[in-house]
Amino acid sequence: MNNKKDKIDIRSLSLEALQQQFISMDEKGFRAKQVYEWLWEKSCISFDAMSNISKELRTKLDEKFVINDVKIHTSQVSADKTIKNSFILHDTHLIEGVLIPTTDRMTACVSSQVGCSLTCKFCATGYMERKRNLNPDEIYDQVVLIDKQARENYGIPLSNIVYMGMGEPLLNYANVMKSIERITSEDGLNMSPKRITVSTAGIAKMICKLGDDQVKFNLALSLHAANDEKRNAIMPINEQNSLKALADALKYYYAKTKNAVTYEYIIFDGVNDNILDAMELARFCKHLPCKVNIIEYNPISMAAFVNAGEDKVEAFADYLRGQGINTNLRRSRGKDIDAACGQLAINENEKEVAKA
């Protein structure tokens, strides 16, 4: 089994499955637990580095298994100290992830798919083809690498994770859930689920599943219009997941989890920026406890949207606050290196370099 393709991806195995593999290799089951700890608690990506495992067993592991670790391909640092990374996967696909440092937190923005299938008109990733879902270990590795970056560059460990990078997390549901389990469990990175936010463009059926699974992490909905006609025009996913379907799913989710929801709303000039739009959003907010994050539009070459002016944004936010809705204005980070919300994409030149 010397061909890498013939080897078993060791991080695809549960502890129980790994123990069975060890028994079939005439090895003690408890050795599997040691290896599992190396993989998930210590984030080890080399069998040779597993120092409490015999050399003979390490050789056996190397012959039978592979660790398909993610590597940093390129990094760019923004004027505001945001760091954007392109990561190369074992099959040469590229994805992007971002370290966002602020005064009170270090946030990793991670991807869940190679590309995206949702074609949101304001998002650079939406103009890419979806190649495949990321595996749980590929999401986990992004967190480990960005945490290392935070410690090395700013002397502070990661405090938060947002699944707001490339792809739609709820269309990679099982792998996203498994990655969060590895990140939050005691025999993983032991991070609090309350420091994790999963952002969705709005898949009603899967929002209900989050409720059934009684998740402990935070949920954000990328909303951007509380009017079906307007939302259909900028987010085609709304045609199959109408605002009523989303409201029903969110109410179900809240009934099951008691978790408030965050609505993300970009105010585009002349699209969704008037007080009638704010009134529609306020009505949508009445369905369950929530807050609204008004975020800047970050220009992309494929679309002609423009940010609404400051006066319109302030009037919009003031109206929501007047309706008793917790409303925050979020400033973009890393815009100068295309690292901000909606700007993540892999260009053709990068793909060719990665394959070389």
Q: pLDDT for 150-189, tens place per residue?
A: 999 999 999 999 999 999 999 999 999 999 999 999 999 9
Rounded to an integer, the average pLDDT of 17-41 is 94
pLDDT at residue 344, as a whole number = 53
* Lowest mean pLDDT across 18-27, 38-47, 94-103, 302-311: 302-311
Q: What is the per-residue pLDDT for 104?
A: 87
User: What pLDDT score was predicted for residue 268?
Assistant: 92
Answer whether residue 352 shows pLDDT above 70: no
- What pLDDT score does 2 carry? 54
For residues 162 and 107, is the Cβ–Cβ distance under 8 A?
yes
Contact (CB, 8 A) for 45 and 69: yes
Q: How confident is the model at residue 97 (pLDDT cuts 50, 70, 90)?
A: very high
> 8 pLDDT exceeds 60?
yes
The mean pLDDT value for 268-282 works out to 95
Domain layout of the chain by residue ranges: 4-66, 71-355
3-class SS of residue 8:
strand
Between 351 and 96, name the one with better pLDDT.
96
Tens-digit pLDDT profile for residues 99-141: 999 888 999 999 999 999 998 888 888 888 899 999 999 999 9
CA atoms of 316 and 207, how far apart (whole Å): 27
Residue 296 confidence (pLDDT): 82
Question: Can you tell me the distance from the alpha carbon of 57 to that of 66, in angstroms, rounded to the nearest whole number?
Answer: 14
Confidence of residue 346 (pLDDT cuts 50, 70, 90): low
Q: Identify the residue with better confidence: 338 or 183.
A: 183
Of the pLDDT bands very low, low, confident and very high (cuts 50, 70, 90), residue 305 is confident
Could you tell me the sign of the dihedral formed by the alpha carbons of 247, 253, 257, 262, in that order?
negative
How far is Cα 141 from Cα 34, in angstroms, rounded to an integer?
Answer: 19
**If one looks up domain 71-355 in CATH, what number appears?**
3.20.20.70
Of residues 103 and 67, the one with the higher pLDDT is 67
Mean pLDDT of 69-85: 93
CB-based burial, 130-162: b 16+ in 10 Å, e otherwise = bbebbbbbbbbbbbbbbbebbeeeeeeebbbbb
pLDDT score for 340: 47
- Per-residue confidence band for 96, with pLDDT thresholds at 50, 70 and 90: very high
Predicted confidence (pLDDT) at residue 350 exceeds the cutoff of 90: no
pLDDT value at position 339?
47
pLDDT for the residue numbered 356 = 47
Q: 300: pLDDT confidence band, cut at 50, 70 and 90?
A: confident
Q: Answer yes or no: is pLDDT of 77 > 60.
A: yes
Residue partners of 15: CB distance under 8 A and separation at least 6: 32, 33, 36, 187
Tell me: pLDDT of 14 over 60.
yes
Residue 262 pLDDT > 50: yes
Mean pLDDT, range 279-302, rounded to an integer: 91
Q: Which residues carry out catalysis?
A: 96, 341
| Yes or no: domain 4-66 corresponds to CATH 3.40.50.300 | no
- Local confidence band at 341 (pLDDT 50, 70, 90 cut-offs): low
